[in-house]
Amino acid sequence: MTLRLHDSKTRTVSDFTPLKEGEVSLYVCGPTVQDGPHVGHIRTFLAFDVLVRWLRRSGYRVTYVRNVTDIDDKILARAVEEGEAWWKWSYANERKFGEIMDRLGAVRPDYEPRATGHVTEMIDFMQRLIERGHAYADGEGSVYFDVSSLPEYGSLTNQSIGNMVDDAEAASNLKQDPHDFALWKKAKEGEPETAKWSTPFGEGRPGWHLECSAMAKKYVGESFDIHGGGLDLRFPHHENEQAQSYGAGYGFAQRWMHSGMLTVDGMKMGKSLGNFITAEDVLEKHSAAAVRLAIVGSHYRTNVEFNETTLAEAETVLERLRGSLTRALEALEQAKALGELREPGEGALPERFIEAMNDDLGVADALAVIHERHGQLNTLLASATVNASEVAHAVNELRDMLDVFGLDLLGAQWAEESGANGAEHEALDALIRAQLEERAEARKNKDWERADAIRDRFAAAGIRIEDSAGSSRWSLTN
């Protein structure tokens, strides 16, 4: 089945054909680092993480670019509040963002350019727009894009200029039209000397929209395959990016993909509502794997409902998967068949899984295949005589599919996370093992009352027991 993806501009799902056969160029709008990331940011970047993984698993050579906005009004204001140099504050939050994405198992972009590192390209871009009649300098240090000069303006969000909100961020009496937006912002009195650059138009710093057009051109070319970002960026940011690039004479993005928003207990997240959750907060309470599953388990275009219930459900699913995989490893080790296992990506995926992912990343149907295969693995393990080859095949398929979601539970990252509380786990395991041996002895002697009493004590303590041929395993119910 051909890969089909949604295009936010045409509002249709269509066959994906890259500009260059076998290669995909992807530009995703990255973080503005005035603070550390919140769970809404995570929702966007994990959505595109799954896209990158699926494209690569499908055989494409992907160039993945995700920018960092490391200077803007919010960054300067927050740095003043914190009593830090803006560049120091910005860089610290950029580092924090990267560390959290690493913890969540996100693939790193091939390029992660900063706005402040591409001022030269932005100056060239502005000069080109002025020469082509799409921009003008106000004579005081700012440069604006003339929206009336481009007939296509508004085509991304299907709006007419008359219905658009004025660009309040670029408010100025020197603008020719209230809708015109800033490409370059003149330096303000009191701002640090380090926060401005000299240009032919005067001293100042980049407008938010210009940086992405300039960096996309540099890293993925005048025309590229996919531009991604959160749904909240469609207007004005992406509309203005497209306008700049069209005005410069470039083809820009051939397809636009936008991830849905994140809600907390049914409401849009916001500090004023008291439901604002930072990434650090949630990772203190829940495993990174569970946070990841709670987010990537929903279709990228839908709104993700994020709360303690969904996180607990994710923890339970992962615990059951991990338990089954561990039991499978033990069975294969006993059968001296561990050599039949392979690393993810080396074998064929189930056809139904491929069909689901090729249908605009249909994760619900793809996860259904994972759960079905998980059930089959449990059936194999419960058999009186374990067929090692079938168990190995089931494990390999499960790992392949889970890896598409960045959740190969036998991989180094998640195996390490599951053992993060190793000492406590080992102590608890020793105590439970003693009870399991007592229970096994009781069952052997057909002392069912004693065996059931031990099982009931486990259940009351929140411990689930899974029996298979010749052994029993335990896990926390949640």
pLDDT (tens digit per residue) in 12-52? 999 999 999 999 999 999 999 999 999 999 999 999 999 99
As given in the structure block, the two tokens for residue 359 are 């249908």
The confidence band for 468, taking pLDDT boundaries of 50, 70 and 90, is: low
Q: What angle do CA 272, 104, 474 make, to 5 degrees?
A: 105
Question: What average pLDDT does the chain have?
Answer: 92
On the question of a cis peptide bond just before residue 236, with omega within 30 degrees of 0, the verdict is: yes
The pLDDT of residue 463: 81
Contact 245, 211 (CB under 8 A): no
As given in the structure block, the two tokens for residue 75 are 């960054």
> pLDDT higher for 207 or 270?
207
Contact 247, 150 (CB under 8 A): yes
Task: Give tens-digit pLDDT for 108-128.
Answer: 999 999 999 999 999 999 999
DSSP label at 142?
Answer: -
The structure's pTM equals: 0.88
Contact 474, 465 (CB under 8 A): yes
Among 207, 256, 188, CA closest to 5: 256
409: enclosing H helix or E strand: none
> How far does Cα 354 stand from its chain's mean position?
20
As given in the structure block, the two tokens for residue 245 are 């690039």
The confidence band for 423, taking pLDDT boundaries of 50, 70 and 90, is: very low
User: Which residues have C-beta within 8 Å of that of residue 233, sequence separation ≥ 6?
Assistant: 29, 258
- How, if at all, do strands 143-145 and 181-186 pair? antiparallel
Kindly state the greatest CA–CA separation across the chain.
94
Q: Is 234 helix (H, G, I), strand (E, B) or coil?
A: helix
Contact 281, 239 (CB under 8 A): no
Contact 399, 346 (CB under 8 A): no
- Share above pLDDT 70 across residues of the chain, in percent, rounded to a whole number: 92
The pLDDT of residue 426: 55
CB-based burial label for 340 (10 Å; 0-12, 13-18, 19+): middle
